[in-house]
Structure 1
Amino acid sequence: MTTAAVVRAVAATATAAGQHSAPVTHWGGRILLTLLVLAVLSGVYWLMWRGWKNRAARQADLPVPPSTAPEGSELGDAVEGVYASTTTHGDWLDRIAVHGLGVRSNAWVRVGKSGVLFEREAAPDVFVPAEDVESVQTAPGIAGKVTGGEGLIVLTWRLGGRVLDTGFQPRAKGDRARLIDGVDALLTERTKG
């Protein structure tokens, strides 16, 4: 018996038994499932967008922070890193949605007697005047950036009637102590004067 004869015999037996090969694709079911997944994803993105807009509306009373240091201010060397976000003081997940304060970006921080300047890529710069700086400390995270340990520097400051926390992670570990010392010196200088 040849191979072709064996294949015909098996096919005839399967057909006689009422067995048929399974359909390759159920197009209707696949299209319906794809539309359902797209609808769910669209709904989730719409809810996220709406939540962000509602958060921004709740924070609309927050004034626009200055974006430049005063004329003639001497600021120290820039420390490169990541501007994580700004949140309400004491609530590390309550990200500020207005004025670009909640936007994560690459940044350079410069500290001087006049205050702290965050020079950011793809977001407005933020200048914190010396009189508005409350404290500086390390933390394991803030909304938008969790480092574990104490890898994040958190600057606590006032804007309008609110107290805020801004998280920054220097690229080099050695810059962490230098940045904290610079802000501490600013606070010490302010209390003297």
Structure 2
Amino acid sequence: MNLPMPVAVGIWLVIGALLLTLVLTGRRRLAARTRPLVPRPPALPADEVALGAVRLGPLEATYVSSTLSGDWLARVGAHGLGDRSAAHVTVLDGGVVVDRDGAPPVLVPVAALRAVGTAPGMAGKYVGRDGLVVLTWQVPSDGETGAALLDTGLRTRFTADNARLVEAVRSLILPSTPSPKDTM
């Protein structure tokens, strides 16, 4: 059966609108479902000098998503933490800043960092063989919601940057080893 062109276009527009509505409804439900579990992440200070000297970056990356720690399929939709976007990652003395395009930046304070490593994938993004850098960090309580442990996945643009990023973040987590002068 051949439909007239205006009718066929109209049908496709209706189908497209329905699909878009389903996607947006799913995103809203994910955000509503995870909002009681995850407090709002800390905001960047007005004066970025407060975060200290730059140790590494900014590196080009893709912010993959944040998930509940240990469950890399449990994407967090609250506060925009589940939205994939292009980003620039900077490691500073005071923590890690993920400056996302089209979304608020994510600040992971040094006191919140728990671990860093690599993984083949998480929450809808599989890149294989340790292609993602994963930061494990604790979002502090905001007074309404208790603290939450999250895993945040980052895919650096250049593979060589993975090891540099992991080492820079690891240097924030690990306590410095005492120098010989300190032990005397």
TM-score for the superposition, normalised by structure 1:
0.74
Cα distance in 1 for residues equivalent to 2:99 and 2:9? 44
RMSD: 2.7
Instruction: Kindly indicate whether structure 1 or structure 2 has the higher relative contact order, using CA contacts under 8 Å at least 6 residues apart.
Output: 2
Aligned pair in 2 of structure 1 residues 144, 75: CA closer, same or farther (>3 Å)?
A: farther
Q: Quick one: percent identity of the two aligned structures?
A: 37
- How many Å apart are 1:131 and its aligned residue? 1.2
Cα distance in 1 for residues equivalent to 2:80 and 2:106? 9
Cα distance in 2 for residues equivalent to 1:40 and 1:190? 58
- Are the equivalent residues in 1 in contact too, given 2:31–2:79 (CA < 8 A)? no
Match of 1:73 in 2: 52
Per residue, is there more helix in 1 or in 2? 1
- What pairs up with 1:16-55 in 2 under 5 angstroms? 26-27=2-3, 31=7, 39-55=14-30
- How many Å apart are 1:67 and its aligned residue? 3.5
Match of 1:96 in 2: 76
How many residue pairs get matched?
167
- How many Å apart are 1:112 and its aligned residue? 2.7
- What pairs up with 1:84-123 in 2 under 5 angstroms? 84-123=64-103
- How many Å apart are 1:38 and its aligned residue? 5.2
- How many Å apart are 1:27 and its aligned residue? 3.2
Aligned pair in 2 of structure 1 residues 130, 170: CA closer, same or farther (>3 Å)?
A: same
Per residue, is there more strand in 1 or in 2? 2
- What pairs up with 1:132-143 in 2 under 5 angstroms? 132-143=112-123
- How many Å apart are 1:41 and its aligned residue? 4.6
- Are the equivalent residues in 1 in contact too, given 2:88–2:98 (CA < 8 A)? yes
- Are the equivalent residues in 2 in contact too, given 1:113–1:189 (CA < 8 A)? no
- Are the equivalent residues in 1 in contact too, given 2:39–2:148 (CA < 8 A)? no
Q: Which stretches in structure 1 are left out of the alignment for 5+ residues?
A: 1-24
Q: Which stretches in structure 2 are left out of the alignment for 5+ residues?
A: 142-146, 179-184
1:181 partnered with 2:160: no
